[in-house]
């Protein structure tokens, strides 16, 4: 009986040791967001369609880390965008949202791969409608001769997403010191014989504390072969006061090439939370400010969100887009179908109702 008791105790100790080893070993998380909505667009004509990503971009991701000891930690993220309305992947690449690996230290972290620039973070964290393709979103800002600092993908030095997401990039980020943190990113153009000729350089700082959250960002997007040299300076802040949140930001694009595709934009918003209910509103303006034809877009939207649980929410919004200027293309937060606006009626009203679930 004594031997049997000892054997059982040894098995229990071994099982306990395995559990501890698993708890402190490599960690892997599968996560995602599925978000779809019905959208009504009313301009020179009317169209109803199902769209993906009204509150957040739909995605499927893998996130992992391993404690290496001595304050060191290895980590990675692989994240694929999903167009939920037709099942295709987004961002023109399978791991198009993010794909990077890195090492964390007691002083900060370094990571390599395809990563968010500070423009993406700033226009997402400090906007009531994030930088998605619906509502009075920060994605309205852009269209400066085809240059899209928030949406990315058009005319960037890196292509395929930059400057919002940057390929071939190395990112350094500090730890938080009394509410302050800073970072820098370098996106390599990988042009033989011209290291500086096709690249994105990004520096940023952020402060969070006492209800205030503020961020400053400077991004240089340069492509010699395209004659492109643009600098985007952005600043944004948000303040939480009880159930209220107030936010605002400004973005200035300075095109230092002969094309002179300067542009600017700003946004102001506020929200109020009452239990499971969230009410919000935001105004966004985007304006050409260089040699291009004069024009601007103004967007004002109001939204309502009802949280069914911590992971599932119903949402709706109504937004009015006013487009002005001779020769200025109509803009909204997302792509406008051909024929929905014309020279006599460039304005647009958008109504959205959708559901988001995260896991």
Domain membership flag for residue 154: yes
b (16+ CB within 10 A) / e for 87-126? eebbbebebbbbbbebebeeeebebebbbbbbbbbbbbbb
Tokens 């009504």 correspond to 40
Domain membership of residue 5 (yes or no) is no
pLDDT band for 269, please (50, 70, 90 cuts). very high
> What is the tally of structural domains in the chain?
1
* 240 located within any domain: yes
**Per-residue pLDDT tens digits for 276-312:** 999 999 999 999 987 766 789 999 999 999 999 999 9
Does residue 72 belong to any structural domain of this protein? Answer: yes
C-alpha distance from residue 137 to each of 5, 267, 270, 297 (Å): 66, 9, 13, 12
pLDDT digits (tens, 9 = 90+) for 178-207: 999 999 999 998 877 777 778 999 999 999
- Is the pLDDT score of 44 beyond 60? yes
Q: 312-359: per-residue pLDDT in tens?
A: 999 999 999 999 986 677 899 999 999 999 988 999 999 999 999 999
Is residue 9 situated within a structural domain?
A: no
The per-residue pLDDT for 162 is 74
pLDDT digits (tens, 9 = 90+) for 219-265: 999 887 777 899 999 999 999 999 999 999 999 999 998 888 899 99
Query: What percent of the chain has a predicted confidence (pLDDT) above 90?
Result: 76
Summary mean pLDDT of the chain? 90
22 in any annotated domain: no
pLDDT at 161: 56
Tell me what pLDDT residue 251 has.
Answer: 98
Domain that holds residue 293: 34-358
φ, ψ of residue 130 to 5 degrees: the values are: 55, -150
Give yes or no for residue 14 having a pLDDT over 70.
no
- Does the pLDDT value for residue 6 go beyond 70? no
Lowest mean pLDDT among 64-68, 90-94, 146-150, 170-174: 90-94
Question: 112 lies in a domain?
Answer: yes
pLDDT beyond 60 at 18:
no
- Is the confidence at residue 90, as pLDDT, over 90? no
| Model pTM score | 0.90
CA neighbor of 96 nearest in space, from 84, 82, 86: 82
Cis upstream peptide for 174 (omega within 30°): no
Is 21 domain-assigned?
Answer: no
Check which CATH number belongs to the domain holding 175 and give it.
Answer: 2.40.160.10
Instruction: State how far the Cα of 346 lies from the Cα of 341, in Å rounded to an integer.
Output: 5
User: Can you give the pLDDT at residue 65?
Assistant: 98
Percent of the chain with pLDDT over 70: 89
């Amino acid at each position: 009986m004594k031997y049997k008791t000892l054997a059982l105790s040894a098995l229990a100790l071994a099982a306990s040791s395995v559990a501890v080893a698993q708890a402190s070993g490599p960690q892997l998380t599968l996560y995602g967001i599925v978000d779809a909505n019905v959208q009504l667009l009313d301009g020179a004509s009317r169209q109803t369609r199902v769209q993906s990503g009204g509150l957040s971009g739909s995605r499927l991701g893998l996130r992992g880390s391993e404690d290496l000891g001595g304050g060191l930690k290895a980590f990675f993220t692989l994240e694929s965008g999903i167009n939920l309305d037709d099942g295709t992947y987004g961002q023109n690449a399978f791991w198009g949202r993010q794909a990077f690996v890195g090492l964390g230290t007691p002083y900060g972290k370094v990571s390599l791969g395809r990563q968010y620039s500070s423009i993406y973070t700033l226009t997402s964290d400090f906007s009531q409608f994030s930088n998605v393709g619906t509502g009075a979103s920060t994605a309205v800002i852009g269209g400066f001769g085809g240059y899209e600092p928030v949406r990315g993908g058009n005319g960037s030095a890196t292509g395929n997403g930059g400057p919002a997401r940057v390929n071939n990039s190395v990112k350094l980020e500090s730890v938080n010191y009394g509410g302050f943190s800073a970072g820098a990113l370098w996106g390599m153009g990988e042009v033989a014989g011209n290291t500086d000729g096709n690249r994105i350089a990004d520096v940023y700082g952020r402060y969070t504390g006492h209800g205030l959250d503020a961020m400053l960002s400077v991004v240089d997007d340069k492509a010699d072969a395209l004659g492109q040299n643009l600098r985007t300076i952005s600043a944004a802040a948000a303040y939480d006061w009880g159930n209220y949140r107030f936010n605002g930001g400004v973005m200035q694009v300075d095109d230092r090439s002969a094309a002179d595709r300067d542009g600017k934009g700003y946004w102001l918003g506020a929200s109020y939370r009452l239990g499971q209910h969230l009410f919000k509103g935001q105004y966004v303006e985007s304006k050409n400010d260089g040699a291009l034809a004069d024009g601007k877009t103004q967007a004002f939207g109001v939204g309502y969100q009802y949280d069914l649980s911590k992971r599932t929410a119903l949402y709706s919004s109504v937004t009015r887009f006013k487009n002005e200027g001779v020769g200025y293309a109509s803009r909204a937060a997302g792509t406008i179908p051909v024929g929905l606006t014309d020279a006599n009626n460039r304005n647009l009203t958008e109504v959205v109702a959708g559901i988001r679930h995260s896991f």
